[in-house]
Amino acid sequence: MTQPIGIFDSGIGGTSIFKEIHALLPYENTIYLADSKYAPYGNKSKQEIIDLSIKNTELLLSKNCKLIVVACNTATTNAIKILRNNYNVPFIGIEPAIKPAALNTQTKAIGILATKGTLSSELFHQTTDLYSNGINVVEQVGEGIVPLIEDGKTYSEEMKALLEAYLKPMLKANIDYLVLGCTHYPYLIPLLLEMLPKHVKIIDSGLAVARQTKNILEQNTLLNLRKKASKNIFYTNGRVSILKDILENQFEVKSLDF
């Protein structure tokens, strides 16, 4: 099936998920929506996050998408249930990778960096309760990180100062896993590797989401079987140049008001 996969995020962060999907499914056509105008979602109310997720979903469906990847932890944890109940296409969501961290920690302490919207959601609490028995889960809201990334200041002194403050309580608790619970955060990995002690492993859910996307396409016989170069289009209601930069100028980026 040649119809595109739709992907949306509150901004440019979900491109970290797009890259995993594109690497695993190179023949799939995709349409990406960067809702940068309304970023960050992380401090918005549940209802606002639901409304924005519906707006993005309807735009992707109007462009004939066969499956939608909610490439945003905040939107997934607050809105995916409602999206699944209201629309007739498969939805793939993303949640912080608590399970592998909790299963593998040796120090019995793990850190989770995510948005306020994710950390306060019911879905996040359910998953944490399920896997965190006997483990110290140090939760930290990454206040201010997404706006800096959206502003092209990923590798900056301001970012370093924020991360230093956010990592402090985690390192004090002797974490050996840091879970990146926001799709913008994989872009912080080069900086985090400079700042974290060697024994702390960083994990995110990008590859798991790509694998799940492939499984669901297969199960629903939705895979694109034509082995032709794919068409990957990116729409942003924010700055085109920032999205182009994060995609290393490899894909077509268009400005769209939505």
Q: Quote the least distance from Cβ 13 to ligand DGL, whole Å.
A: 4
Q: Which residues bind ligand DGL (CB under 6 A)?
A: 9-10, 13, 39-42, 72-74, 115, 118, 146, 182-184
Nearer to ligand DGL, 146 or 200 (CB): 146
Query: Residue of minimal CB distance from ligand DGL?
Result: 42
Tokens representing 153 are 């200041």
Burial label for 89, CB within 10 Å (0-12, 13-18, 19+), is: middle
Tokens representing 141 are 């809201």
Q: Quote the least distance from Cβ 175 to ligand DGL, whole Å.
A: 20
Q: What angle do CA 155, 161, 162 make, to 5 degrees?
A: 90
Core vs surface per residue 199-212: b (16+ CB within 10 A) or e: ebbbbbbbebbbeb
How many other CB atoms are there within 10 angstroms of residue 66's CB atom?
A: 21
Q: Quote the least distance from Cβ 184 to ligand DGL, whole Å.
A: 5
Measure the CA–CA gap between 114 and 64, rounded to whole angstroms: 31
Tokens representing 221 are 């016989």
DSSP state of 178: E
Nearer to ligand DGL, 8 or 224 (CB): 8
Q: Helical H runs in the chain?
A: 15-24, 46-62, 73-86, 98-104, 116-119, 122-131, 145-150, 157-172, 189-195, 206-219, 240-246
Nearer to ligand DGL, 25 or 146 (CB): 146
Q: Quote the least distance from Cβ 249 to ligand DGL, whole Å.
A: 22
Nearer to ligand DGL, 39 or 210 (CB): 39
Q: Quote the least distance from Cβ 143 to ligand DGL, whole Å.
A: 10
Angle between helices 206-219 and 15-24 (to 10 degrees): 50
Q: State the Rg of the chain over Cα.
A: 18
Measure the CA–CA gap between 129 and 139, rounded to whole angstroms: 13
For the annotated catalytic residues, the residue numbers are: 72, 182
Nearer to ligand DGL, 224 or 246 (CB): 246
Nearer to ligand DGL, 56 or 115 (CB): 115
Q: Quote the least distance from Cβ 41 to ligand DGL, whole Å.
A: 4
